Amino acid sequence: QSALTQPASVSGSPGQSITISCTGTSNDVGSFNLVTWYQRHPGKAPKLVIYEDNKRPSGVSHRFSGSKSGNTASLTISGLQAEDEADYYCCSYARSYTVVFGGGTKVTVL
Amino acid sequence: EVQLVESGGGLVQPGRSLRLSCAASGFTFDDYAMHWVRQAPGKGLEWVSGISWNSGRKGYADSVKGRFTISRDNAKNSLYLQMNSLRAEDTALYYCAKDDSGGITMILDWGQGTLVTVSS
């Protein structure tokens, strides 16, 4: 069980778009349409922003979108806002009833 | 509204045991798989274990396999994590989380967490 690979940090100015990558393997990201993305503000529980690779839960801003190509999933935040500053984690179902997280990406709004 | 309330955390010596509990409400508990996820100080999220709706399927992270046991009591709407042979590296905030389905697939909802500190 190896963690999914995410960049440690990504930054952007208000109004810009940023993309966070999440690289796994054919045993997890590449084999299942079960990538989720979570936003986590300090001291708060994680919040789901994308599920099943590219679906957005009700109540989540349309500025959040997900995609996937092969073993790499991506989260794009468009029209970056100050409130988007947080840690973001990708997650995927892996084989044999296990789940694996990425190491997390700190998003900074400049 | 989904509510997940963890309890049972605390300070424990290395090598000892601790049992975490999670009380679930706001949804039909026995329709969904459940998970434990942890976050060590200064580290990222780590999936610990998952259990299917009927306890028929269980999965564990390699880091806890053989030491931790996940279980559930659908009659009590409760999830448990028995943690044995605890190590300093098990120190973390432990979250109870709800799946999207009865099988182990993906985590949708989270509790607020209970803190476990392993130290002598």
| Residues B14, B23, A89, B47, CA torsion sign | positive
pLDDT at A6: 97
pLDDT digits (tens, 9 = 90+) for A48-90: 999 999 999 999 999 999 999 999 999 999 999 999 999 999 9
Cα–Cα distances (Å) from A40 to A71, A93, A100, B12, in that order, read: 24, 20, 17, 27
Which amino acid, one-letter code, is at B47? W
In chain A, which residues touch B (CB < 8 A)? 1, 3, 34, 36, 38, 40, 45-48, 51-52, 57, 87, 89, 91, 93, 96-104
CB contacts, 8 Å: A101 with chain B? 37, 44-47
Q: Which long-range contacts link B87-90 to residues 24+ away (Cβ below 8 Å)?
A: B87/B14, B87/B118, B88/B14, B88/B118, B88/B119, B89/B40, B89/B63, B89/B118, B90/B38, B90/B64, B90/B116, B90/B118
**Contact yes or no for A48 and B59 at CB 8 A:** no
Sequence-ordered list of residues with C-beta below 8 angstroms from that of A21, at least 6 positions apart, any chain: A5, A6, A7, A72, A73, A74
Digit-coded pLDDT (tens) for A35-48:
999 999 998 999 99
Q: Over the stretch B21-63, which tens digit does the pLDDT of each residue have?
A: 999 999 999 999 999 999 999 999 999 999 999 999 999 999 9
A100 contacts B45? CB cut-off 8 A:
no
Cβ–Cβ gap A45/B58 under 8 Å: no
Classify residue B13 by burial, with Cβ atoms within 10 Å: 0-12, 13-18, 19+: exposed
Predicted confidence at residue A95, as pLDDT, reads 85
pLDDT the model gives residue B60? 96
| Mean pLDDT calculated for residue range B80-87 | 98
Q: How far apart are CA A35 and CA A7, in angstroms?
A: 17
Q: Measured between alpha carbons, how far is B73 from B21 in angstroms, rounded to an integer? A: 10
CA distance A1 to chain B (A): 7
Average pLDDT score over residue span B96-115: 94
| Residue A1 pLDDT greater than 80, yes or no | no
Predicted pLDDT of residue A2: 81
**Chain A residues with CB-CB distance to B112 below 8 A:** 45
Question: Stretch A21-31: mean pLDDT, rounded?
Answer: 93
Residue B71 pLDDT level (bands cut at 50, 70, 90): very high
Give the model's pLDDT for residue A96: 87
Segment B61-67 shows an average pLDDT of 96
pLDDT reported for residue B42: 92
Sign (positive or negative) of CA dihedral A28, A32, A34, A37: positive
The first and second tokens of residue B54, run together, are: 């009927």
Contact residues, chain B, for A57 at CB < 8 Å: 108
Residue of B nearest to A48 (CA): B108
CB-CB: which of B37, B104, B107 is closest to A97?
Answer: B104
Looking at residue A83, what is its pLDDT? 96
Contact (CB<8Å) A99/B35 = yes
Q: Which pLDDT tens digit goes with each residue over A88-106?
A: 999 999 988 999 999 999 9
DSSP one-letter code for B30: G
